[in-house]
Amino acid sequence: MANYTKLTDFEFKEIFKIYALTGQIQYTPLSAGISNTNYKVSLAGQSNVYLLKIFNDKDSTALLAEYEILNYLKSKNFPYIELPYKTSRGQTYFSYKNHLGTLMKFLAGQVPPEGPEISYQIGGALASLHSLPMHENLRHYAQVGFTPQAILAFATDPTCPLDYKHAICQIFDKPMKEFMLIDFQKGIIHGDLCISNVLSMQNKLHAIIDFEQAGLEKVIYDIGITITGICTQNGQIDKKLMSAFLSGYQEIRILPAIEKKYLNQAILFGFLSMALWRIKKYRIKKINAMLADHYKEQLQKARDYHENL
């Protein structure tokens, strides 16, 4: 979450009118995150606290596709999500001037410190997500994220940085190319489950947020992404954290032998997909020019992990 779009007091009131909510508004911009603008908002005389989210690089089609996933998860009693409030016209997002956004309940809790216990709990939650039956009408991860095929193809793109291209040539060895072609089990994946996308209360996992890259895909991709997102310490995968994550995961879903065999490749994919996401956001779309080289951190982690295999 971040604060890129500035709203006036009048604009806040007009947006809240879309939800038939009125009253004196108090708001606080939230600074943590990547590419959305977020405000914590309360109304005088009401106990509810809201999260107002404005999307800086997403259209209505993507918002509706994300809502379909969240709504499906809610119908399957997946316990770690909240649905956005609907407008007075029954829409799941608002459109005001050139802004698209959602209004949600502001979730209590905090981003937890990394550690074995929260890694274990996240593992169980992710396995529960992967164990849900697929709904074929949901969007596919490739529409919003980067598959191994997309990563490999980007190496020939004229916008690809030279260091990323060299890393792809190095890392896409025989095992990685095998990983790319295997027909692993598919399911609903989160696509961006890192420690900043979870909230805890009293040392218990309370919520998983930011399903913007969720979709149908091979679940081992999500396992690799999540390990790189919650099990990294000092630039390297922490084996204790990864062991705790996998223990929690396998309490719910046992990893098939083929997924265990290619777990290292899934981790490499996690680093490379995040690096490519940062290239696209910061270097190509220039959402934040100051972060144009932010991908290099993930790229170096991928190189280091590959060299240590």
Q: For residue 255, what is the domain's CATH number?
A: 3.90.1200.10
Q: What is each CA distance from 158 to 29, 155, 276, 279, 284, in whole angstroms? A: 37, 8, 14, 13, 11
Q: What is each CA distance from 205 to 67, 162, 251, in whole angstroms? A: 22, 40, 16
Nearest one of 218, 217, 216 to 139, comparing CA atoms: 216
In this structure, the answer to whether residues 219 and 180 fall within a common structural domain is: yes
In this structure, the answer to whether residues 92 and 129 fall within a common structural domain is: no
Amino acid in the structure at residue 198:
V
In this structure, the answer to whether residues 79 and 173 fall within a common structural domain is: no
Phi, psi of 30 (to 5 degrees): -105, 130
- Whole-angstrom distance, CA of residue 307 vs CA of residue 309: 6
Q: What is the 3-state secondary structure (H, E, C) of 181-204?
A: HCCCCEEEECCCCCHHHEEEECCE
In this structure, the answer to whether residues 217 and 96 fall within a common structural domain is: no
Number of independent structural domains in the chain? 2
| Inside any domain, residue 2 | no
| Inside any domain, residue 110 | no
In this structure, the answer to whether residues 76 and 162 fall within a common structural domain is: no
In this structure, the answer to whether residues 148 and 276 fall within a common structural domain is: yes
What tokens were used for 39? 């405000």
Residue found by looking up tokens 């009408």 in the block? 137
- Residue where one domain finishes, among candidates 74, 105, 136: 105
In this structure, the answer to whether residues 191 and 252 fall within a common structural domain is: yes
What tokens were used for 209? 């947020």
| Start-end of H helices in the chain | 9-17, 60-75, 116-131, 148-154, 162-171, 174-181, 219-230, 239-252, 257-261, 263-278, 295-307
Residue 131 near residue 55 (C-beta atoms within 8 A): no
In this structure, the answer to whether residues 36 and 92 fall within a common structural domain is: yes
Coil, strand or helix: which one is 147?
coil
For residue 184, give the H/E element and its range. none
Residue 211 near residue 69 (C-beta atoms within 8 A): yes
Q: Quote the pLDDT of residue 168.
A: 97
- Whole-angstrom distance, CA of residue 3 vs CA of residue 27: 12
232 beta partners: 237
Range of the structural domain that residue 138 is part of: 116-307
Half-sphere exposure of 156 (CA within 13 A, CB side): 4
| Inside any domain, residue 58 | yes
- Residue where one domain finishes, among candidates 51, 83, 105: 105
The pTM (predicted TM-score) of the whole model is 0.95
Kindly give the parts of the chain with pLDDT less than 70. 1-4, 31-35
Contacts of 75 (CB under 8 A, 6+ apart): none
Q: Quote the pLDDT of residue 4.
A: 65
- 47-63, pLDDT tens digit by residue? 999 999 998 878 999 99
Here the CATH number for the domain that contains residue 73 is: 3.30.200.20
Nearest one of 53, 275, 38 to 146, comparing CA atoms: 275
Between the two ends of the chain, the Cα-to-Cα distance in Å is 34
In this structure, the answer to whether residues 183 and 241 fall within a common structural domain is: yes
Q: What is the DSSP letter of 141?
A: G
Nearest one of 92, 103, 188 to 140, comparing CA atoms: 188
Q: What is the 3-state secondary structure (H, E, C) of 239-294?
A: HHHHHHHHHHHHHHCCCCHHHHHCHHHHHHHHHHHHHHHHHHHHHHCCCCHHHCCC
Q: Quote the pLDDT of residue 1.
A: 42
